[in-house]
Structure 1
Amino acid sequence: MNKATELSIKGESIQSLYGSYLKGNYLVNRRYQRKLVWTVEEKRSFIDSIVSNYPVPLILLAEVSTEKGKKFEIIDGMQRMNAIMSFIDQEFDLNGKYFNLETMADTKFLMDSKKMAQKGEPLDREVCAEIVRYQIPLSVFQESGESHIDEVFRRLNSGGRHLSKQELRQAGATSKFASIVRKLSSNIRGDSSPTDILDLNSMKNISITNRSLDYGIAVDKIFWIKNNIITKEALRKSQDEEVIADIVGWVSNEKGLRSSSDILNQLYGFSIDSSEESSLASSVELQIQKVNEEKIIQNIQHVFDEIIGIIEYSGKTFNSLLFANQQAKISRYFQIVFYAFYRLIIEENMSICSRDDLVGCLDKAGDKIISLAAGGGNWSAREKQTQADALHGVIRKCFEPNQGVDPARNQWVTRFENILMQSSTEQSLYDFKVGFQPLQENLESLDNSVLNKVVKTLTAMANTFPNSKGYCLIGVADSQATADRYQKIYNDGYQTYSSFFITGVDSEANKHYGNIDKLFTKVVQLIKAQPISERDKDNLSRNITTVKYFDKSVVVLKIESGNEPSIYDGKYYVRHGSNVDEVLPENFGQLFARFRR
C-alpha cells in the first residue's frame, strides 16, 4: 500500500471529537459532500444508539494541509458528526432532555462565559458522561491531492447504498457544467456558501431542517417544496439538482436534449454508450465556454427570479396556479414554463409588461395548454420543444421588448438571499446596516459616520483574504430589536428571510434625501470623498447597486481585493468575524506577503 494512502484506524471519544470541533478542525468540501439533510428525528435516533451503546458506522477523514495547519476533511460521516455536535450544542433534545453542559470542561467553559446556555431540563450527568466517553470508530488517511479524495469518496459510495444517483454524479465533478448545476441548485435551495470548503461548525447555518429552528433553512420554505414541484424525500435525494441539470443541459446545447438518466450520466461524463452522443459532455462544455459560466448562471437565475415573482404575485403556489387539482409530480411542467420564460426573457430580450395578464394566462395552464405524456424515464426533446413553444405563444402578449436595460440588474431576489445565507458561514466578508443614518427619532442633521464605518469595514474585508469579495448590505437589520426600532421611527414594516430582517432604505431615503435615486447619488458622491485609494473608490463606485427585495430597496456595496492591501485614512485594517482590527506596523510584512502570494 502506498504510504500516502495508509489508513490510521482508531476509536476516539466524543469528548475529544468535540474539542477538535470547537477548534474548527473538521472541514466539509461541498464539491462532493451531500447536504446536511438529517431530520431531528434521525439525529435523535443516532444519539439513542450511542446512549444504548450500540456500534455505529466508521467515520472516514482525510488529513489535509491548509494555511492554518493540518485539518480533517470529512469523507464519510458528515451527518453523524453533525448529529453529535448539534446535540451537545443544545440544538435538539433526547426524550425531552438536553445534553448537560456541566458534563465536559469545554461545554462548562462555554456556559460560564455566556457563549452557550443550558436549554430545558438537562440529561442526567452520568448518562452524558457515558455519551462523551463513547468511542467513535475513526479512520484517517493522508490525502495526496483533490482528485485522490474525490476518488475515495466516489468508490466509497459507488454501491449506491448511501448516495442517490445525482449525488454520485456531482461527487467530485469538476466540469463547468457540474459547477453551474452545483451553484444554481444551492442558490435556489438557499444553502449556498462563499467557498466550497467550510468547517463543520458553519454547516449547520445552511443545513436543511424539518423544524422551525433559529438556524438553517426550513425545508417547507424551499422553493421546490413550497410550490409542490418535488417532494421532501426527492429533495433529500437531490432531484432538484436533476431538474437544474436538465435545464442547464437544455439551454447550453444548441440542438436541445431529451431527458433521461443516461443523458444526465453523459452530461457528467459517465456511461457513454452510443457514438452519436459520446461527445455530449465535451460539446456542452464547449458551449458553456463560449457563453461564459457566470453569464449562464446569471441568465438562469434571472429567469427563476421572474418566475418566483409571478408566483408570489399570484398569491398561489406554482402547483395550484397551473392546475385545478394539485398534481403529484410536476417538475416537467415547471421546466416547460421555465423554457418558455427563458426564450422570452433571455433569447428575445423581453420583460413582463402585465403581471395580471400573465397570471391569467398561467392559470390552469397545466390543464389547458401544456399536454405531457404520462410518466416514464425518458422525455423527448421534441415534446419539450413543442410544449414550450405552445406556452410561449400564449404568454408572449404579456411581454414587451427591453429598452437597452440589462434585465438581470434589477432582479436580484435569489442572489440577495444567497448573500444573506453566505454571511452565516463567513462573517468576516459580510456586514449589514439598517440604514445610512443613525436610528434617532428626531435627527436634526444628516450624519455621514455610518457610511464612514461601512467603507472602513469594506477596506478591512478586502485585506482579510486575497482575491475575496466583501459585501455590506444597507437596509438589513442585524436583529429584530433594530428592525422594530426602524419600524417605530419610520412607520414602515419589514420582510423576514431565515433569521434576517429586511427593512429596506426607502423610508429613510424619502424622509432625509427626497427619494431613493437621490440617496444613491449622494452615497456615490460621498464615496469619492472617502480617505481611500483611487482604485478602491473606483471599485466601490462601480459595484454599488440598489436591489429590490419584494417592496424593499436594499443598497449593496461590494469591494474586491486588489493586488495590494486597501488603506483607510492612512491605516490598514482587517476583519476578524464582525470586528475591524487595525494592522500594527510590525505586522505590515505579513499583510503584504499575503497579497504577494
Structure 2
Amino acid sequence: MSETTELSIKGESIQSLYGSYLKEIFLVNRRYQRKLVWTIEEKRSFIDSIVKGYPVPLILLAEVKTEKGRKLEIIDGMQRMNAIMSFIDQEFDLGDKYFNLDTMADTKFLKDSGVITQKGEALDRKICAEIVRYQIPLSVYQESGDSHIDEVFRRLNSGGRHLSKQELRQAGAVSKFASIVRKLASNIRGDSSASDVLDLNAMKNISITNRNLKYGISVENIFWVKNNIITKEALRQSQDEEVIADIVAWVSSDKGLRSSSDVLNQLYNFNTEGEDESSLFNSIELQIQKVNEEIVISNIQTVFDEIIKLVESTGKTFNALLFENQQAKISRYFQIVFYAFYKLLINEGMEISDTKKLIDLLDKAGDRTISLAAGGGNWSAKEKQTQSDALYGVIRGCFIKSNNNDPARNQWITRFENILMQSSTEQALYDFKVGLHKIEENPTALDKDTFSKIIRTLTAMANTFPGSTGYCLLGVADNKATADRHQSIYGAGYISYSSFYITGVGAEAIKYYGDIDKYFTRIVQLIREQPISERDKDNLARNITTVRYFDKDVVILKIESDEKPSVYESGYHVRHGSNNHEVKPENFSELFARFQK
C-alpha cells in the first residue's frame, strides 16, 4: 500500500450516518459517480435487507478537505446511502408503513420543528430502532489527489457488475471529449448541476425516478424515453451517453467514424495501449480544442432544441413521427435525423423556413426515406453518411439562410430547463418571480418594492463566493397556487416542468407596456435607478436576456461576482439557502477577506 494512503475499516450505525448526513458531510462527485437511478422497489429491497439483519456491501468513502472543512466523498455506495437517508426522510414506505420519526432525537426534532412530516402509518418503533442501530460497514480512504480516487472507483467497478461499460468510460475521465458528453447528457436528461461536487442531500433533487414524486426527474419525461428512442433500462445503463458520444465524435471529426464499442474505448482512451490506439483520442481532442469546447456544446444543443421543438409541435413522439408501426429501438434513426439537421443548421448556417412541410417530409421517414441495415454491433461510417445525406437532400428545401450568426441564442429550451433543475441543488444562486406587478386584480403600478428585493437578492448572490453567478427568472412560479392565481388574473395558461410552472411575462408585458420590448426597456431603466454600484448596474444591464420557452417569454436577470463584494444601499447582503441576510458591520472584514482569497 502506498505510504500516502491510509485506510480505516469500521462499522457505523445508521443513526450516526444520518447525523452526518444532516450536517452535509457526504459529497457526491458527478465527474465519476453514476446517476441516482435506483427505483423505489430497489430501495425497499435494500431497507428490507437491513430489517432482516442481512449483511450489506461495504460503503467506501474518501476523506477530502474543502473550504467548509473535512468532508467525505462517496466513492462506492451512493445508491445505498441515498436509500437509507430517503427512507428516514419519508420519501418511500416499507410494506405501506413509513419510518417512525419518533425513533431518533434528530428525526423527532425535525418533526417537532415542522421540517419533516410523519407520513401514513408509522412503522413499529422497535423495528425502526433496530434499523438505526444497524452497523453499516464503512471504509474511509484518506488520499490526496483526484486521480487516485478516480482510479480506486474504476478498479472497484472494473468487473462490470456495478457499472455499465459506458459508465466506466466516463468515470473520472477528464478529457474535453468526456466533459462535453457528460455535460450534454446531463443537460438533455435534465439532471444537470452547476457544480460537479454536490452534497448527498441535494442529489435527490436531480435523481431519476420511476415514480411521479415531488422531487427528482420522472424517467418517463426524459427526452430519450418520452420519444421511445431508448428504453428506461437502457437509460439506466447510460446508452444515452453512448449516443451523444457518437454524435460528438461525428461532428468533431474531419472524417466519418464508425460506431462500435472499440471506437468508444478509443475516444475515451479507455483500456487502450500504445500510440496507435490513442491516436483517435488525441485527434478528437485536437479538433475540439480548435473549435472550443463551449462552441461544440452550443452547436449540438442548438440542433437538439430544434428537433425537440419540432417534435413537440406535432403532438407525437419522435418514434411515432418516423414510423407507421413504432420500432422498439431507434437511436440510430435519431442520429441520422440529427446529422442532417446539424449539416443544415450549423455547417450551412440555415434555419427552418417551412415547419409544416418539414413535418410532412419527416412523417414516416423511417419507413420511406431512411433505410438502415438490421442488427446491432458496428455501424459503418459509410451508412451514416449515405443515409444522413439522403435525408438532408429530402428536407433541404424547408430551410433558408439564417440571419442569426449566433446559434447559442437559439438553444434556450434545454438551457432554461437546466437552470430550473440547477436551482434545486444550488438554491442560494437562483430566485423566481412570476412578474413585476402584484398578482391581484388590476394593480395600478409596477411593484417597485418587489423589484428592489430582486436586485438586493442578486447582490446577495454575487456575495456568495468569488466567481459566483446568480439568476433571477421573471415568468416562473415555484408553486402551483401562484401559477393558478396568475392564470386567473391574466387568462394565460402555464407550462409545467418538474416542480416549476412557467407562466411567462408576455401577458403582463402586453397589458401594462404594450409589448415585451417596452417591458424589457422598463426593467433596464429600473436597474439604473437602484442603489447599487455602477459596475453592478452595468453588469446586470448587459446580462439581462429575454428567452422564448415554447410560447412563453421569460426574462433572465443575471449577475456575476466582482473582485469585491456587491453593495446594496450602503450595506452588504449574503444568501443562505433561499433567504437573504444582511451582513453586520462587525462581519464586514470576514466578507472582504473571502474575496481577497
Report TM bin, short chain. Answer: over 0.9
Paired residues for 1:576-595 under 5 Å: 576-595=576-595
Q: Is the 8 A contact 2:350 2:400 kept in 1?
A: yes
Q: Which residue of 1 aligns with 2:22?
A: 22
Counterpart for residue 96 of structure 1: 96
Matched, 1:329 2:329: yes
Residues 134-213 of structure 1 aligned to structure 2 (within 5 Å): 134-213=134-213
Is the 2:428–2:577 Cα contact (8 Å) retained in structure 1? Answer: yes
The alpha carbon displacement at 1:415 in A equals 0.6
Cα displacement (A) at 1:408: 3.1
Measured in 2, the distance between the counterparts of 1:45 and 1:375 equals 36
Taking the TM superposition and a 5 Å limit, the aligned residue runs for 1:255-266 are 255-266=255-266
Counterpart Cα distance in 2 of 1:206 and 1:440: 34
Q: 1:518-557 alignment to 2 at 5 Å?
A: 518-557=518-557
- Is the CA contact (8 Å cut-off) linking 1:4 and 1:141 kept in structure 2? no
Paired letter, 2:142: Q
1:411 and 1:547 in contact (8 A); partners too: no
Determine if contact 1:62/1:142 at 8 Å carries over to the other structure. Answer: yes
Check conservation: 1:9, 1:138, Cα contact below 8 A. yes
Instruction: Give, in whole Å, the separation in 2 of the partners of 1:346 and 1:522.
Output: 35
CA distance in 1, matches of 2:404, 2:44: 56
Gaps of 5+ in 2: none
Q: How does 1:240-255 map to 2 (within 5 A)?
A: 240-255=240-255
Could you tell me which residue of structure 1 aligns to residue 267 of structure 2?
267
Check whether the contact 2:301–2:411 (CA below 8 A) recurs between aligned residues.
no
1:455 lines up with 2:459 in the alignment: no
SS at match of 1:4: coil
Q: Pairwise mapping of residues 181-580 of structure 1 onto structure 2 (< 5 A)?
A: 181-272=181-272, 278-580=278-580
2:445 maps to amino acid: S
CA distance, structure 2, for counterparts of residue 446 and residue 200 of structure 1:
41
Distance 1:278 1:74, change over 3 A: closer
Q: Which amino acid aligns with 2:64?
A: V
Tell me the residue number matched to 2:34. Answer: 34
SS in 1 for 2:463: helix
AA partner of residue 317 (structure 2)? T
Offset, 1:521: 1.2
The change in CA–CA distance for 1:137 and 1:274 in structure 2 (over 3 A counts) is closer
- Shift of residue 161, structure 1, vs aligned partner: 1.1
Distance 1:276-1:366 versus aligned 2 partners, 3 A rule:
farther
**Equivalents in 2 of 1:252, 1:404: separation in Å?**
22
Return the letter of the residue paired with 2:434: V
Note the C-alpha offset of 1:275.
Answer: 6.2
1:455 is displaced (CA, Å) by 1.2
Q: Tell me whether 1:64 sits opposite 2:75 in the alignment.
A: no
Which whole-Å CA distance do the structure 2 matches of 1:284 and 1:587 have between them?
A: 50
Amino acid at match of 2:138: L
Maintained 8 Å contact 2:320/2:326: yes
Q: State which drifts further: 138-147 or 267-276.
A: 267-276
Contact 2:46–2:83 under 8 Å retained in 1: yes
- Whole-angstrom distance in 1 between the partners of 2:405 and 2:151: 46
Of stretches 441-450 and 387-396 in structure 1, the one that deviates more from structure 2 is 441-450
How many percent identity over aligned positions?
75
Aligned to 1:279, what secondary structure does the other structure show?
Answer: helix
Alignment-mate amino acid for residue 374 of structure 1: A
Q: Distance in 1 between matches of 2:54 and 2:508?
A: 59
AA paired with 2:416? F
| Residues 524-561 of structure 1 deviation map (CA, whole Å, 9 limit, x = unaligned) | 12212222222212211121111111211110111111
Mapped to 2, the partners of 1:411 and 1:358 lie a distance apart of 20
Which residues of structure 1 form unaligned runs of 5+?
none
C-alpha separation in 2, matches of 1:113 and 1:281: 54
TM-score normalised by length of structure 2: 0.98
Secondary structure at the aligned position of 1:464 is classed as coil
Aligned with 2:324: secondary structure?
A: coil
**Which has the larger displacement, 1-10 or 26-35?**
1-10
Shift of 1:3: 4.4
